[in-house]
Structure 1
Amino acid sequence: MHPLTKDLISHIQDKYQLNDYVLHESFYHREKFHGETQYSFETCWFPINHGPWSEDESYPDGTIEIQVDTVTRRTTSINKHGDVTIYSLPEDLRDSDTQTSWLEQELGMTFDQEFMLLKHQDSLYQYVSCQNGIRLFPGFFISLELTDDGALDFFSVYGTPALSNKYPTESFSLAPVQITPIITEQIRFFSAPGDQQRIQAHTIEEIFVSQNDSLTYPFSDPDTSSVAMNEIVT
């Protein structure tokens, strides 16, 4: 076994106290975020005393899937199957202080300064990256789902931190009236063939506007979001 693989397995097993579990499978995963390649290590743990199971069936009750970043070792996904207790996690995450404190520990970031709550509905909580309370793009998206008694059922972090504190900050003063002319320039009307008559429609080019409304930036960078192959596809 490769030393990195062995080290990551030990890290996950020790962090989440998986002494009553056996590693069923593990593999590396590569994904591209905003032009940067990220590598993660995904593991699947079965309870030692799980019942009969075959490859054609879903994972046995009690299975835990955990994914970590190969560089930072920070957990990017936890998925539980059935009634599972992970002893290293808080028993009840419904309390906002307990939940944000645990997230700060997992992410290594400060609540309301580097990430903030986006949505809370029933047992679902969603967070996004921010800079002093202002949402960032590109950034990352955090999702938590709790059981009826407040235990963690699912956790995931998607994306990468967008900025760091080396960037200067200034008071936000951009008003909608300032960017109205710029917005109207992004709307394009066109007609398309329909079943019986042509359809009139419009499209909007998404952009960012600078603080002094003198510059615009594309929503996605064409240099990193796509690759020009210059080949004829048949």
Structure 2
Amino acid sequence: MNSMIDELIDFTKTKFGLDNYYLERHRLYRNVNIFNDTVYTLCMEWFPNHVTEQEDDDSNPVGTAVIEINVNTRKFDRAIFVMGETYAINGITFPILDTKTIIKWIEGETGLTYGKQFQLHKEAEGEFQFKECFEGIAVSPPGFIDIKFNQEGKLTSFSVHGQFPSKEMVKEGTYTLSFEAVEHLAKEQLKLIEFPSYEQKKLFPVYAVEEIYVTNDGTSTIPFEILADGRSYLKIDKTIFWDEPIKKLFDRKEISWVEDITAEQAFSAEPSPVSFPITKEEEEKCVMAVEELLRQEYPNDTGKWMLKTLHRDKGYIHSIVRANHQNNRVFQRKLMIMIDARSLHVVNYMDNKPMLEIYDQFQALEKVTVTKEEAFEKIKELFELKPYYVYNFEQKQYILCGKLDCQFGVHAGSDEVISLDDL
């Protein structure tokens, strides 16, 4: 075993008081964050000493400590004791279970400052949840810090997710947006959407808002979906046409989602191939590969599909393809086509059509009797416009925006204002 890996394992065992545990397995993996930096993580699974064999279903035994540490910063991203049961001796224990004690420990553990980079979101018995912020203003993509402990004050769960930007990453400003200035955008974002009720097997027509970020000067917007998974995409937006189908069945190949990472790669912080930009040549070959797949599997659909984006992911280039004709349902028809990053040939794809066909069995849509203008007037006062620092992938910094959203909708058949959380 690599000596530097050994050192991290010993460091972990001491810090979390794992004398009553043995290391069952460990592995290295890497991810690329929104700044395009490659982050290497060592994941360890520590079994309690009294456990002598693995569960039949490959699940970890009660009390197992699953711990992840950033190889380069030596900061812990996750430490979870399965089912909240810990056998740690002289591990992490909080003698006083109050907010100040927890915050002080988190600041020491993460190097973050409370009120500037994270703030309390909610608390319950034995649990605190914090959200990422910058100078008290919410951040997108969002981050969180969760911490749990048992009645004795022993740590049972700790996890950190997010980027928690430094001052240098943020273009600070004074928030000036008002709802009056973006009211026209609010009306544009109100859409007629068919929400499914699984209990009643019905589709309900509801006017609801697609949330969006508006820049502080009100001149541009950032769609919510771009920031949903914190990934940078190459935008294509190309409708695929062809003259002749290909009369040959596509041969699916098995996808490997796991990379074999060496200690040398991790400790030298070798950039992941996922962080490399997609070249013009790769882009052109990916478009050709997508077209070939469509000609094989959807031979009669020329002009019916649009290649939206390309992005790298663990040895593949994923292409997101959406149907040009979309209905009003919550979930829209799309394909994810996986292309081998070396050969630039399609190896597999996923179509969400089987999932969408479930809704074909639902009772037909109720008659729409409410206009968009009427619906807008009913919930106009319920819109939210809150300041957010949003990561701009083109500028490579956080910029001040307002998040335009609404937690309520209008039933297009009954004219009733309803909470979207109830749907």
- Structure-1-length-normalised TM-score: 0.81
Alignment partner, residue 87 of structure 1: 90
Structure 2: where are the runs of 5+ without partners?
Answer: 196-200, 237-285, 298-423
- Please tell me the residue identity of whatever aligns with 1:142: I
- Please tell me the residue identity of whatever aligns with 1:147: N
Q: CA deviation at 1:136?
A: 0.6
CA distance in 1, matches of 2:188, 2:15: 53
Change (3 A) 1:156 1:227: farther
Change (3 A) 1:115 1:89: same
Moved more, 223-232 or 169-178: 223-232
Matches within 5 A, 1:183-222: 183-189=186-192, 200-202=205-207, 204-221=209-226
CA distance in 1, matches of 2:156, 2:203: 49
Alignment partner, residue 140 of structure 1: 143
Q: Which secondary structure does the structure 2 equivalent of 1:136 belong to?
A: strand
Residues 93 and 151 of structure 1 are in contact (CA less than 8 Å); yes or no, is this contact kept in structure 2?
A: no
Change (3 A) 1:19 1:197: closer
Alignment partner, residue 41 of structure 1: 42
Q: Which has the larger radius of gyration?
A: 2
Q: Which secondary structure does the structure 1 equivalent of 2:217 belong to?
A: coil
- Please tell me the residue identity of whatever aligns with 1:138: P
Alignment partner, residue 158 of structure 1: 161
Residues 35 and 225 of structure 1 are in contact (CA less than 8 Å); yes or no, is this contact kept in structure 2?
A: no
CA distance in 2, matches of 1:187, 1:60: 48
Q: CA deviation at 1:183?
A: 1.6
Alignment partner, residue 29 of structure 2: 29
Q: Does 1:224 align with 2:232?
A: yes
- Please tell me the residue identity of whatever aligns with 1:77: R
Q: Which secondary structure does the structure 2 equivalent of 1:45 belong to?
A: strand
Q: Does 1:55 align with 2:54?
A: yes
CA distance in 2, matches of 1:91, 1:198: 50
CA distance in 1, matches of 2:217, 2:175: 10
Alignment partner, residue 77 of structure 1: 78
Change (3 A) 1:76 1:205: same
Residues 94 and 101 of structure 2 are in contact (CA less than 8 Å); yes or no, is this contact kept in structure 1?
A: no
- Please tell me the residue identity of whatever aligns with 2:55: D
Q: Does 1:182 align with 2:185?
A: yes
Q: CA deviation at 1:43?
A: 0.8
**What is the count of residue pairs matched by the alignment?**
231
Q: CA deviation at 1:214?
A: 1.9
Change (3 A) 1:190 1:64: closer
Q: CA deviation at 1:31?
A: 4.0
Q: Which secondary structure does the structure 2 equivalent of 1:7 belong to?
A: helix
Alignment partner, residue 2 of structure 1: 2
- Per-residue CA deviation, residues 149-183 of structure 1 (Å, 9 max, x unaligned), is 3322111112333x320234233232222222112
Q: Give me the identity figure in percent.
A: 24
Change (3 A) 1:99 1:133: same
Higher relative contact order (CA 8 A, sep 6+): 2
CA distance in 2, matches of 1:118, 1:52: 37
CA distance in 1, matches of 2:70, 2:14: 16
- Structure-2-length-normalised TM-score: 0.48
Alignment partner, residue 408 of structure 2: none
